[in-house]
Structure formats: C-alpha cells, structure tokens
Amino acid sequence: MPIYLTIAQLVLAVALIIVLALQVKGGGLGGIFGQADGVYRTKRGVEKTLFNVTIVLAVMFVILSIVIVRVSSA
C-alpha cells in the first residue's frame, strides 16, 4: 500500500477531529465553557461553514478508507 494514502488518511483524521472539536452542540464556542443555548436557531456564518466542512471531511475520509482497503487487497 502506498504510504501517501496512509499519510492522507492521517491528515484527514486530524482535520476531522479538530473541526468536530470546534463544533459544540448548543452554543458555539461558548458551549465549551458550559454556556448552553436553550433556544433553537439556524446555523449561520462560521457555524454553517464548520458544519459543511465536517460533512466534506467525513465523506473524504470514508472514500479514502475504501480506496485503501481496495488497494491493499489487490
């Protein structure tokens, strides 16, 4: 298996962890420190961008994982 695929998967995993850590359900970055937001609101600005980036990174991670399995079994 080519090493660059493993490195790419590692980079995607770290990026996904960072993006997920920035998304705290309930109050944006204030939720990290215990401030909960009790009102439902739509995602806007940075929050929406983080959400979309999370989806893209997760899909890329899954596709890369499938490619690695296919390459290593061939």
Q: Nearest-CA neighbor of 19 among 43, 52, 45, 63?
A: 52
- Give the model's pLDDT for residue 63: 97
Q: What is the pLDDT of residue 70?
A: 94
In the chain, what are the domain boundaries? 3-73
- Whole-prediction pTM value? 0.74
The confidence score (pLDDT) of residue 27 equals 52
What tens digit of pLDDT does each residue of 12-65 get? 999 999 999 988 765 555 555 555 555 666 778 888 999 999 999 999 999 999
